[in-house]
Amino acid sequence: MDQGYIRVAAATPKIRVADPVYNGERILELMREGAENKAKLIVFPELCITAYTCNDLFLQDRLLSEAKKTLARLAAATKQMDLLAFVGLPWEMGGRLYNVAAAISGGKVLGLVPKLHIPNYSEYYEGRYFARGNEIPAWVDFLGERIPIGSRLLFACEEIPELKVSAEVCEDLWVVSPPSIGHALAGATVVVNSSASVETVGKDDYRRSLVSGQSGRLVCGYIYASAGEGESSQDLVFGGHNMIAENGTVLAEAKRFSAGITYADMDLWRLRSERRRMNTYPGSLPGLPARNAGAACGYGCDGQTQQTAGCAAGCAGMPGWGSPECSPHYLTVPFHLNPERLTLRRVIDPAPFVPHDTGERNKRCEEILNIQSLGLKKRLEHTGTKCAVLGISGGLDSTLALLVTARAFDLLGLDRKNIIAVTMPCFGTTDRTYHNACVMTKKLGATLREIDIRAAVTQHFKDIGHDPDNHDVTYENSQARERTQILMDIANQENGMVIGTGDMSELALGWATYNGDHMSMYGVNASVPKTLVRHLVRYYADTCGEKELSGVLMDVLDTPVSPELLPPEKGGEISQKTEDLVGPYELHDFFLYHMLRFGYGPARICRMALAAFAGAYEPEVIKKWLRTFYRRFFSQQFKRSCLPDGPKVGSVALSPRGDLRMPSDAVSRIWMEEMDSL
């Protein structure tokens, strides 16, 4: 498999009603097109070999026999294609007619999955023709082969262990307890649905929610192929509304009222990671190995008539298969694919923490500000604290912390004057950031204190024998620790609480002075990534309704990210730019998200980054900063192991009491070795 990616497709051919020969040719054309485009799994609509709208013609021997002949031709054609396909047709068994999806691959029919829930309401009259399908697989003869038929079939790819496919048919998805629930419990990672869903006003929205919702609750891929052009329009119209979803997200969707093929690159590693992460996701039930007549089953049957203690009267296809000992199990049917590397069609989001839609982003920003402010409100309320103290630098993080603190005070009905914002200029402070810090504090109604720390830090250099012309880490960290000491002491004076300003991206990289800006009494930004901090401040600027405050916030957004610990350049410009030293935060946030959210390794993350940031960064630049990320992430865990409390706002967080239980002395060797191979 190509690092977990597999190309899948949902296809709707333009068909003719009751013409299996013509329909088979159209299906074959799309199968060949899919194979040429490296699709490994293709799903076709319900009853597409005959058309769904045949009505009483389903009772004609001629139609049924031609449908089987067409299936045989399609199955034979797959010998020259590297794919697994599902096609729908009517199937007669035991004097009853069944609506089935046939799985074909490698020149054979691998299995038949019958529809379990037969609708007979409104415009549907399937009960007139079709019987409810069987769950426990039985065996039928077709073209000299014994083929399993039943809903409990699990098609497992030998070469791609993560690819396990099960099927349901149309209405099966719409019922209270869809078969796909059992499929996922049995280990299916991808569920396919051959459907013929009619179009009525607004139905597409509900259909989409069903497909995306089922893929989300089952943590699976879901491929939905629906009947379209060519079906009878005597009373109904079919739109070919094909969808491919993955864990709650619709990856691709066909334009309705058209025929053709829809592709998506599905991420099986992501599904595996999500299931592994969720300890409430049930483990898979054991499967039974697929077998032909004469092969022994897992209970010791000879595959013919031998009775055993484990299986009352033989194995699958024999009377008694499906006894209580067997019924929980699925029949596993193996198939083969040749994994090959893809040029990804999947869109890799370069900003996974930030919604791209403006409306959704604004909604997210409001939600996060509420979480932050409510978290701080609870802490202030619990401790009886009516004063908050924070350092204000004129940078992004301290700006966000001040905005959140103001909100929390409003929620408590406290006077914002009890927010003490302390600006502490020193060697690296620029006029721009100092001015912004002062104006912002005053406009928010907080109390501004200015404490110049140059003399204190200079005295400290004398005390420890440090040359002030040596601008090393001691020079920088002494300033950070002096500022933290001042904040803590003011909090003691005022019976207040020091509000932390550091964000999650800085914590991931260890870009904080231990027991300096690393420490506080409550860190409101602790789980907010740097890429999102910027949008939160912009959202506040856009919605605050105060022109001067908005202007200051916009200037903060335009200011380079810097700790301002080194003297400014000539002209007073910031000389120390964080992203020049540790790398672009948009890259590090991307690395952090995919490492912690899905457990991906360096090779996978690098490939995703190359796709996401194509044209923005050269490959060697991405690899350089990815190496920096891993080195710093492992070496700086000791700083994260003793973080102050702070609210979690998203699916990735670094709290040692919550999301990241990581030893401080874990080594990065195997990750760096993988980096070396890139």
Kindly list the catalytic residues.
Answer: 46, 115, 170
What is the longest distance spanned by two Cα atoms in the chain?
101
Tokens of 436: 């912004």
Phi–psi pair at 110, nearest 5 degrees: -85, -30
Which contacts (CB < 8 Å, 24+ apart) does range 484-493 have?
Answer: 484/391, 484/513, 484/515, 484/516, 484/517, 484/519, 484/520, 486/422, 486/424, 486/451, 486/453, 487/389, 487/390, 487/391, 487/422, 487/520, 490/389, 490/420, 490/422, 490/449, 491/387, 491/389, 491/521
Give whole-number Cα distances, 547 to 392, 506, 544, 599, in Å. 21, 31, 8, 44
- The Cβ of residue 528 has, within 10 Å, a number of other Cβ atoms equal to 31
Pairing of strands 243-246, 249-253: antiparallel
Strand, coil or helix: what is 153?
strand
End-to-end CA distance of the chain: 18
Q: How far apart are CA 437 and CA 653, in angstroms?
A: 28
- The Cβ of residue 435 has, within 10 Å, a number of other Cβ atoms equal to 13
Q: What angle do CA 440, 441, 445 make, to 5 degrees?
A: 115
Q: In sequence order, which ranges of 186-258 are alpha helices (DSSP H)?
A: 203-217
Q: How far apart are CA 420 and CA 441, in angstroms?
A: 9
At how many degrees (to 10) do helices 602-612 and 585-598 cross? 130
Tokens of 380: 């202030």
Residue 473's identity, in one-letter code, is: V
Cβ 630 vs Cβ 605: under 8 Å: no
- The Cβ of residue 531 has, within 10 Å, a number of other Cβ atoms equal to 22
Residue 459's identity, in one-letter code, is: Q
Cβ 138 vs Cβ 112: under 8 Å: no
Identify the H or E element spanning 457: helix 454-464
DSSP state of 472: S
DSSP 282-322: PPPPPEEEP--TT---TTS--SSS---SSSBTBSTTSTTTT
Give whole-number Cα distances, 546 to 437, 443, 552, 650, in Å. 16, 9, 10, 29
DSSP state of 198: B
Identify the H or E element spanning 498: strand 497-500
Residues in the chain: 678
Phi–psi pair at 194, nearest 5 degrees: -90, 115
Residue 392's identity, in one-letter code, is: I
Tokens of 28: 């074959």
Q: How far apart are CA 247 and CA 221, in angstroms?
A: 6
- Contacts of 638 by beta carbon, 8 Å cutoff, 6+ apart: 664
Smallest CA-to-CA distance from 591 within 309, 344, 299, 348 is with: 348
